[in-house]
Structures are given as C-alpha cells and as structure tokens.
Amino acid sequence: MMGLPQVVTMREVGTRDGIQSLGAFVPTEQKIEMANALARTGLTRIEVTSFVSPKAVPQMADAAVVMGAIERPPGLSWEPLVPNLVGARRALEARSDRLVVVLAASDTFNLKNIKMTVDDSLTGIAQIIPVAREAGVPVSAGIATSFGCPYEGDVPEVRVQEIVGRLLELGVDEVGLADTTGMANPVQVERMLGGIRSRWPEVPFGLHFHNTRGMGLANVVAGLRTGVQIYDASIGGIGGCPFAPKATGNVSTEDVVHMLHEMGIETGLDLDALIRCAQRMSEILGRDLPGQVMKAGPVGIRHAA
C-alpha cells in the first residue's frame, strides 16, 4: 500500500464525545484522573471537555473544574469543544490550548442538535474566531454529519465542500469531518477526502469516525489513503449514538493505534498505556467497552505452544 502517511496524530475525544451522552454523571475527580492518564500515554491532543450549557449537557457541567486540574506537560494541547461565544470565553479563561467549534452539514441535524440553522452556526463561529485569535489560540472546526444525516440521508459532497470553504474564509485553522452516526463507508471516505484534499492541499483535515456499523477502522484506512493524518478516537471505544442505543461509539483509540502500528505507521503513543486507560475507563463506567484490543491483546502477544 504505497503512499500512506508515515505518521498520524490521534485526537482523544473519550472524556468529551465518549461520555457526554451518558445518563450517570461521571465524578469530576474521575474525569480528571482519566484526562491525566491519557495525557501520559503520549497523546498530544485531547478534546477533554465541552463548555456547553450545563442545562443542555449536565455531564459537562464541570468543564472549568476539569480544565483547572489537569496537568500541563509541554507539547500537549487540551482542546475543549465550545458551542458559542460564551463557551469560548469560558474555555479561554480556563487556559485552553485550542478551541473546537462544531456545526453540522445537514440543516435538519443542526436544528435538532443545537437549535440553529447552519448559517446561524457559521455566524456564531465568525464571532468566536477573532476572540480566539486575540488570545493566540487556534480554532478547529468540526463538521458533523459530513458523511450522512440520520434525518436527511445522503449529504451531498458539494454541500460539505461549501461549508469547508466558508469555515476557511472565516479563518479556522483546521477542519474535521465527522461521521456523527456511523454512516460513512470506505469508498465514500476516499472519494470525499480525495476531492477535499486536492481542493485545499495546504489545510490540515481531520477525520472523526464512529464504529456504529463496524466500518470505523476501514474508514480510517480509507482516510489514510487520501493522506489525512489526524484522527479522532475515544478510549475503549466509548461514546454512542442516540439513534442506535445498542451500537458502539467512536472508533476506539487503542484499536486504531494498534492497527496503525501494525501497518507500520507511527503515532508516538504507548499502546500498553492506552490499553490500561481503556481498562480503567471500563472500571469507572462499570461496564464492558467496545474496544477489541483491550480484550484480545495486541497481535504481538505470543502464546506458549
């Protein structure tokens, strides 16, 4: 397989996307413990929390407390999600290294999820960027439902490209394409990212896959084939989709890292430490997690004959 990137950067989203929909509140100390444990695996980017309204997402009510307690080793970027200007100001006060803004490619999903049209979301993002820039903090934008919408179905690639273009005009530093409900397939990923990457070869793009229908790691490989080097994942594969309550969540960080290492791609991450984080997350949440390598162990394990 020629032309795959030699190095990939993982963005951990377990303590944000992974737990935000959980009914039971994860104690703040355990969030801090997990964030710090993840930071010790070699991860350089962690979407640790969300400065969303506590009424909208009670699980994230402790965002500022978490941000105040995490360790700050050099080279590590703590990058919370911010839904609006109020959240962005709170996140900057909490010493965020980068802000993550989000909108959906589908109006129906955006309206349902954050009660705004896509145009209104872009207006909100336009307010955040100068504030972040003044603080010297870069901004990543995530486009939810880039590969399909659970309400609308297909999302035209031209629509995704239009939103990418508008975000770049607004000055975002990086764009992530998210398969919010696990609808992407490898042919689609390779076609869409091929088109986007050739139109904007200088822009860093990230990919955010869910394993809802088992295609998560196949989609990562499809992204690699187009040269994308930034992948979101959640420790243990936690996370989920309100549309498929029994389905799995985000692709599992340790499963993606394990595959990348087996493929000869460097991540700079300590796989064993990631597996220990996944096992600890399983203890914290009190249930089995979807991650596979945490159960089977890495390929490198040898059994006595």
Catalytic residues: 241
Mention every residue, 6+ apart, whose C-beta is less than 8 A from residue 169.
none
Q: Smaller CB distance to a second copy: residue 174 or 179?
A: 179
Q: Given strand 139-144, what is the order of strands in its sheet?
A: 77-78, 45-46, 9-12, 230-233, 205-208, 174-178, 139-144, 99-104
- Which helix (DSSP H) or strand (DSSP E) does residue 141 occupy? strand 139-144
Q: Which of 150, 206, 223, 239 binds a second copy (CB under 8 A)?
A: 150
Q: Say whether residue 185 binds a second copy (CB under 8 A).
A: yes
Q: Say whether residue 5 binds a second copy (CB under 8 A).
A: no
Q: Say whether residue 215 binds a second copy (CB under 8 A).
A: yes
Angle at 184 between CA 183 and CA 185, to 5 degrees: 125
Scanning 77-85, 97-105, 122-130, 239-247 for contacts with a second copy by CB under 8 A, the matching segment is: 239-247
**Burial environment of residue 71 by CB neighbours within 10 A (0 to 12, 13 to 18, 19 or more):** exposed
Report the amino acid identity of residue 115.
K
| Number of residues engaging a second copy in binding (CB under 8 A) | 56
Tokens encoding 140: 């990543």
Q: Smaller CB distance to a second copy: residue 136 or 264?
A: 264
Residue 282, φ and ψ in degrees, nearest 5? -60, -40
Scanning 85-93, 96-104, 156-164, 254-262 for contacts with a second copy by CB under 8 A, the matching segment is: 254-262
Q: Say whether residue 183 binds a second copy (CB under 8 A).
A: yes
Spatial separation of the C-alpha atoms in residues 217 and 233, rounded to whole Å: 10
Q: Which of 220, 230, 233, 269 binds a second copy (CB under 8 A)?
A: 220
Scanning 31-39, 42-50, 114-122, 252-260 for contacts with a second copy by CB under 8 A, the matching segment is: 252-260
Q: Say whether residue 153 binds a second copy (CB under 8 A).
A: yes
Angle at 208 between CA 50 and CA 125, to 5 degrees: 50
Q: Is 136 helix (H, G, I), strand (E, B) or coil?
A: coil
Q: Smaller CB distance to a second copy: residue 141 or 207?
A: 207
Q: Smaller CB distance to a second copy: residue 119 or 154?
A: 154
Whether the CB-CB separation of 265 and 6 falls below 8 Å is answered with yes
Q: Say whether residue 299 binds a second copy (CB under 8 A).
A: yes
**Helix count and strand count (H, E) for the chain:** 11, 8
Q: Smaller CB distance to a second copy: residue 77 or 188?
A: 188
Scanning 11-19, 137-145, 228-236, 287-295 for contacts with a second copy by CB under 8 A, the matching segment is: 287-295
Q: Smaller CB distance to a second copy: residue 85 or 218?
A: 218
Identify residues 56-115 at the interface with a second copy (CB under 8 A).
108, 111-112
Whether the CB-CB separation of 188 and 218 falls below 8 Å is answered with no
> Which residues would be at the binding site for a second copy (CB under 8 A)?
1, 4, 108, 111-112, 148, 150-153, 182-183, 185-188, 190-191, 211-218, 220-222, 241, 243-244, 246-248, 252, 255, 258-259, 262-264, 291-293, 295-305
